[in-house]
Amino acid sequence: MKLNINPDWLLRMAEKEGNGIVSVGGFVTRIETNAGVQTPPAMKPSDWSRIFPVSVMRKLKFSLPEGMSDADALLKFFDVPSPDAWRAKWSDYAVAFRQTQQFDFRREALAAWVREAEIIASQIPLAEFDEAKLRGSLDELRWLTREKTQDGLDRAQLVCSKAGVALVLVPELPGTRISGCARWLSDKHAMVGLTIRYKWADQLWFTFFHEVAHILLHRLRRLFVIDNAVDHMGDAVVDPEMARYEEEADRFAADTLIPPAALAEFLRLHGRTLTNDEIHDFAESIGVGPGIVIGHLQHDGILEQWQGNALKQKLKWDFVTKD
């Protein structure tokens, strides 16, 4: 699995009043146009290529052409004629990027991740976006949390494609700490991109539903969401406007996965001293994987982080093709 973006379209949209890029969760920073650009004017291609994690991109099987210099491969990868053209296409638009207080990000690595996402998403046949169909698929998508993670994601990709949303998976690059991405590719197609940096499947599924929330709830207000992962969801968001969207997406994801009334009744009946069997049976009754319930209870402090992990799926991914 992987993720499609037309940067020219994004640039035009980002320049329109009221449009922009939002972050999801964590500590949010606004990055203004041209802020933090690391590439000086008229940089030589050979020097420009050194600021990208090319060796890691090749190891992770990014779509870099073979048989040419790193600089030429990057230019073809980004579909630009020069480093200056890359700057115009990928750097000169306003970005709001989710990040914790502890970590910064590398613009070049972020651009490479997004570009790989768009290349992959372009290979996925999509129906026209259908909001009703996507909303009507939420229960089926919830049910997929019961399956092995890779099988569930494969099925989720098919379900989303029928609603006009490309679901793709792209491995993380150093210096990005990306967890996911949601964006409108056009007025007819959207994209949800995920990467793996979490240890547990429940965190990945929460991110997925979080991104779906932005597609469904914020279409007319925010075009592009790109997230930096945090170890604990719910870190304070600095920008008040973005915080509102973040809270809405968080609430949508949490309530979609576990209906609040059902959870409240479960806790009323069983209290805060819960057994794995009780949690498993509750998860079965609401149609989600037991790890989803464990993760929610851990997040809310009802369970300790070590409790119930036997019911969670641990993520093991191998993006690198072994020789």
Residues 230-283: pLDDT tens digits? 543 344 444 566 677 778 889 999 999 999 999 999 999 998 889 999 999 999
pLDDT digits (tens, 9 = 90+) for 43-97: 788 999 999 999 999 999 999 999 999 999 999 999 999 998 888 877 643 343 4
Q: With contact defined as beta carbons under 8 Å apart, do 228 and 177 qualify?
A: yes
Q: Residue 102 has which token pair?
A: 């502890």
Cα gap 240→227, rounded to integer Å? 17
pLDDT digits (tens, 9 = 90+) for 143-200: 999 999 999 999 999 999 999 999 999 988 887 777 788 888 888 999 999 887 778 9
Alpha helix stretches (DSSP H) within the chain? 7-15, 45-49, 54-59, 70-78, 83-86, 107-121, 131-136, 138-143, 149-162, 201-217, 240-257, 260-270, 276-286, 290-299
Where does the pLDDT of residue 300 fall: very low under 50, low under 70, confident under 90, or very high at 90 and above?
very high
Cα gap 21→35, rounded to integer Å? 15
Q: Residue 4 has which token pair?
A: 């499609």
* Cα distances (Å, whole numbers) of residue 297 to 73, 183, 213, 230, 305: 47, 30, 21, 18, 9
Under the phi-then-psi rule, with left for phi > 0, alpha for psi from -120 to 50, and beta for the rest, what region is 177? Answer: left
Q: Is the pLDDT assigned to residue 12 strictly greater than 60?
A: no
Q: Is the pTM of this model over 0.85?
A: no
The predicted pLDDT at position 260 comes to: 97
Q: Show the 3-state SS of 207-274.
A: HHHHHHHHHHHCCCCCCEEEEECCCCCCCCCCCHHHHHHHHHHHHHHHHHHCCHHHHHHHHHHHCCCC
Of residues 319 and 316, more confidently modeled: 316
Helix (H, G, I), strand (E, B) or coil at 193: strand
Q: With contact defined as beta carbons under 8 Å apart, do 279 and 303 qualify?
A: no
The predicted pLDDT at position 246 comes to: 78
State how far Cα 120 lies from the chain centre.
14
According to DSSP, the β-strands at 95-98 and 28-31 are: antiparallel
Where does the pLDDT of residue 111 fall: very low under 50, low under 70, confident under 90, or very high at 90 and above?
confident
Q: Which residues pair with 29 in a beta bridge?
A: 97
Where does the pLDDT of residue 302 fall: very low under 50, low under 70, confident under 90, or very high at 90 and above?
very high
